[in-house]
Structure 1
Amino acid sequence: MTTFPEGNFTIVNNDTGRCLRVRLGRTTDVSDWKEGTKYLQYVTDKPNLELGEPDGSPATVWWFSTIDDAAERQPFNQIVSHAVGEYQNIGNHCVWLDNKPYPTAEDRKRAADQFRHKLDDMPQSLKEKLALLLPDAFKTWVEAEVGADASLAKQLELWHAYCASIAFPEHNVDEDQDGVEAAHSYIDAAAEEGIHRPQVESGPASTRMHGCGASRDKNSTYRWTYDGTHIYGADSKTVPAEQSYWTDQGGLLVGKSKGGPGQTWTIAPWKPTSATQPDPVKAIAYTGLFGPIAGLLGN
């Protein structure tokens, strides 16, 4: 098993060329005066994960924490940001992944759209056969709303949209019980002809930056494994590994099942040069840090 290199490294996607970056949170001066004395206080927003330009700046630099978790008696195996620890006073932050244990309304809508398209794409002979199941109440509604001359294709387009909403409701259906029963009968008849409704698949798991010392819940992980091409969860107690493969999905880092584009990564030791890190001032600027320090520098 290939492991993460020692020291600082960069993580670049082989398919897209984008690398894992961090954007540091803005630091705000919230100091206050009391009885003639100024009490200094600064508040720093949380850093954010990004996929972007592999420019070799400190924002692209990470290190692998193998410090032992005393509670679980195993290494943390966290991918930790170099820039957060170096340039902000909020402690070390690492890459977390949050799995969605249940399909959301968006997931159900996506499944409903897929089912509607499957019904619309049925062979014409099958459409004509199943059209005999359209309830009279629906035909009356079409005549009132669309017109008495509405074609069979238009009727079925509207009926399929209704059936899809019944198959994957966003809330409990408690109206027009006759229509609901007719829709289920139509769906069952379509299934007998090989037109089955799809499974509701949850969208990809999301990633974020979070403190290294925080505790996980049952649907989060910060433990990672690298096999030389893929980065995925190494946490048998929380998110299943098969749902956690790092994926560059249009510029967003998400966790998905293995397979498909945007899932292979190259991890290489970071080699700072004068072109990428000429001095500490520019190193801070590369990370996106703004606040009291930037103010003093005139940025």
Structure 2
Amino acid sequence: MSTYPEGNFTIVNNETGRCVRVRLGRTTDVSDWKEGTKYLQYVTDKPGLELGEPDGSPATVWWFSTIDDTAERQPFSQIVSHAVGEYQNIGDYCVWLDLNPYPTAEDRQRAADLFRHKLDDMPWSLKEKLAVLLPAGFKTWAEAEVGADASLAKQLELWHGYCASIRFPEHHVEEDPEGVDAAHAYIDAAAEQGIHPPAVESGDASTRMHGCGARREKNSTYRWAYDGTHIYAADSKTVPAERTYWTDEGGFLVGKSKGGPGQTWTLAPWKPPIAQTQHDPVKALALTGLFGPFASLFGN
């Protein structure tokens, strides 16, 4: 159950002290003259998302949307920027998260390592049963690697590493027909016993600002839950919720699996810094980040 403050609030990381901020897009005058008449037109860049100083400025302010999504018949559950709606003419923008659909070499290596560990952790009785599938030449190779007295347990450690490299071929160094066929047979036999290779999944998920009116697609989400400590996806329809925990990673807001540093957040009601801005409207606007649609008024 989400526990968001009423009205506007700030989002501050408990461990780093940085807060979630919006960086307003710059507005450009692209007006044109035709037949002696000036036609006014302005183009505003998309806002950006960043972590930074919790100075209480409008750039740090958010609100939670409980408006119902009629298509999915549930609340949007979006974390929406106050500053974009207040100072720019582009509608409401909220925090989105995107999984990388193209795993990196590091992602594939992580999957290979995970599979090797799964094979290593099989019950000994199952290891003995599957050991008959090792190719004849493997024992000779293993003894050359670790010594003539290599135990079956040590041989299997080497064999599992080889099988992982075959299952995730971006990482295997050498191959021979006998070894490759035997590795595939071993992997299939392990799968029959419930030991399956993991899927190759992207690591960190990136965050960005995007329009509240847009539809989320596969690998992206804008629905958020807050349990008083963590912020994470409110459902797993488009992105697995367990991989979306907001994380301050070196000053960048990313989504990660739960359990690492930089994942605890405090949402507190926002109080406008009246004393700081009441006599200086230009400074008040500047605190939102880049100047928005009023840029031309001040010569920016």
What TM-score does the superposition give when structure 2 sets the normalisation length? Answer: 0.71
Note if contact 2:221-2:238 (Cα within 8 Å) is conserved in structure 1.
yes
Name the residue aligned to 1:263.
263
Matches within 5 A, 1:60-99: 60-99=60-99
Note if contact 1:12-1:54 (Cα within 8 Å) is conserved in structure 2.
yes
Percent of paired sites with the same residue? 78
Q: How many Å separate the matches in 1 of 2:176 and 2:31?
A: 61
Note if contact 1:77-1:222 (Cα within 8 Å) is conserved in structure 2.
yes
**1:224 and 2:224 correspond:** yes
Name the residue aligned to 2:120.
none
**1:211 and 2:211 correspond:** yes
Q: How many Å separate the matches in 2 of 1:112 and 1:275?
A: 57
Matches within 5 A, 1:1-299: 1=1, 3-101=3-101, 103-105=103-105, 107-108=107-108, 130=142, 132=144, 168=168, 200-278=200-278, 279-290=280-291, 293-299=294-300
Q: How many Å separate the matches in 2 of 1:43 and 1:234?
A: 33
Q: How many Å separate the matches in 2 of 1:90 and 1:250?
A: 30
Note if contact 1:29-1:291 (Cα within 8 Å) is conserved in structure 2.
no
Deviation for aligned residue 1:241? 1.3
Q: How many Å separate the matches in 1 of 2:28 and 2:178?
A: 60
Check 1:25–1:292 CA distance in 2 against 1; reply closer, same or farther (3 A cut): closer
Check 1:288–1:181 CA distance in 2 against 1; reply closer, same or farther (3 A cut): farther
- Quick one: which amino acid aligns to residue 100 of structure 2? K
Q: Which runs of 5+ in 2 are unaligned?
A: 116-140, 146-162, 185-196
Note if contact 1:166-1:183 (Cα within 8 Å) is conserved in structure 2.
no
Deviation for aligned residue 1:276? 4.4
SS of the residue corresponding to residue 255 of structure 1 reads strand
Deviation for aligned residue 1:205? 1.0
Deviation for aligned residue 1:225? 0.6
Q: 1:65-106 deviations in whole A, cap 9, x for unaligned?
A: 101112222111110000000000000000011123552345
Q: How many Å separate the matches in 2 of 1:200 and 1:240?
A: 14
What TM-score does the superposition give when structure 1 sets the normalisation length? Answer: 0.71
Q: 1:109-154 deviations in whole A, cap 9, x for unaligned?
A: 6778999xxxxxxxxxxxxx75947xxxxxxxxxxxxxxxxxxxxx
Deviation for aligned residue 1:2? 5.2
Aligned residues: 254
C-alpha RMSD over aligned residues: 3.8
